Structure 1
Amino acid sequence: MSPGTDVHETRGSVFADLGRPDADVHHLKAQIVTELYRLVTARGLTQTAAGAEMGISQPEVSRLFRGHFREYSVERLLGFLTAFERDVEIVVRPHGKPGESGRVSMKVADPS
């Protein structure tokens, strides 16, 4: 680490820490893209092959994996996961603290 570099512990989402609007959605998208990257890497696919699976071009895959996923909806990113033979299950349950807004999160059940 360089001298003068500030390091801060996150409270769970760097997007929330930065005060981004829709921080939960940005965090969810980042989690989905991280899983897509893991799947592509585990399968040894090129970005061109990954793009063919997802129905997008190689440059779009490159942008996606470099963190430029703002233009993609959560629905489209979830569709990319299903293209990699993944089931996506959405579970809605009561939030643990009455009076507080719920949160959006993702959990990978089986990384294989």
Structure 2
Amino acid sequence: MSTDNNEVHAGNPNIFAELELPDAESHFLKAQIVAELYRLTQEAKLTQARTGARMGISQPEVSRLFKGHFREYSVERLIGFLTAFDQDVEIVATSRAKDGGPGQITFRPVSG
């Protein structure tokens, strides 16, 4: 049996930033919103066709969305999908400590 000396380090919770992909913050936010949409769909026991009807898109679009193909959707449109599931979306701006870094966008779903 061989022993590899693999290094382990704590990664960025945003896998897109960890992979140094362009628009990582936006993509991570979209992924979080889509994950919540998927959770809401499963909770309501909706088919993809019924989900699409609720959100105003086709069943194949829902399938692509839930498979991670959501780059073409704006954050605004995904937020609109949340409101189609009777979710209120609240945007709050707060002051950030002046550490020289940019502000952050955080998504925290509140499960009912």
* Aligned match of 1:57: 58
Compare 88-97 and 74-83 and name the one that shifted more.
Answer: 88-97
Matched, 1:19 2:24: no
> Once the 2 structures are TM-superposed, how far is the Cα of residue 22 of structure 1 from its aligned partner?
1.4
- Asked which structure has the greater CA Rg, the reply is 2
Equivalenced residue count is: 107
**Residues 48, 73 of structure 1: CA spacing in aligned structure 2 closer, same or farther, 3 A cutoff?**
same
State the one-letter code of the partner of 2:47. T
Structure 2 alignment gaps of length 5 or more: none
> Once the 2 structures are TM-superposed, how far is the Cα of residue 96 of structure 1 from its aligned partner?
2.6
State the one-letter code of the partner of 1:56. I
Any residues of structure 2 matched to 1:38-77 within 5 Å, and which? 38-77=39-78
State the one-letter code of the partner of 1:46. T
CA RMSD of aligned residues (A): 1.8
State the one-letter code of the partner of 1:70. R
Give the TM-score normalised by the residue count of structure 1.
0.89
Structure 1 alignment gaps of length 5 or more: none
The runs of at least 4 aligned residues of structure 1 exceeding 3 Å deviation read none
Q: Deviations over 1:31-82 (max 9, x none)?
A: 0000000000000000000000000000000000000000000000000000
* Aligned match of 1:100: 101
* Aligned match of 2:32: 31
> Once the 2 structures are TM-superposed, how far is the Cα of residue 10 of structure 1 from its aligned partner?
2.8
> Once the 2 structures are TM-superposed, how far is the Cα of residue 9 of structure 1 from its aligned partner?
4.8
Give the TM-score normalised by the residue count of structure 2.
0.89
